[in-house]
């Protein structure tokens, strides 16, 4: 388990606190509205596709 990902109980408490203060979690629903922490966040895996290759003089971001 990744220590940076809150447990389900911690997510529930964080979501409640964020809802009362109007703070965003950094997650959004399909309509672009701020959303709570997803229930399956502990199963998330980063997309590790092919690295992008920059052209000479091109910034990576």
CA–CA distance, 33 with 55 (Å, rounded to integer):
36
pLDDT at site 54 = 80
Which residues share a beta bridge with 28?
Answer: 34
DSSP of 31-55: TS-EEPPPTTGGG------PPP-PP
Phi first, then psi: give them for residue 43, nearest 5 degrees: -105, 0
pLDDT at site 1 = 59
The answer to pTM > 0.85 is: no
Tens digits of residue pLDDT in 8-57: 888 888 878 877 777 777 888 888 888 887 888 888 777 777 777 788 88
pLDDT at site 5 = 81
């Amino acid at each position: 388990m990744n220590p940076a990902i809150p447990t389900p109980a911690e997510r529930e408490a964080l979501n409640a606190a964020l809802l009362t203060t109007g703070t965003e979690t950094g997650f959004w629903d399909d309509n672009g509205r701020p959303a709570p922490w997803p229930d399956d966040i502990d199963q998330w895996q980063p997309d590790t596709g092919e690295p992008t290759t920059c052209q000479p003089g091109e910034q990576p971001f």
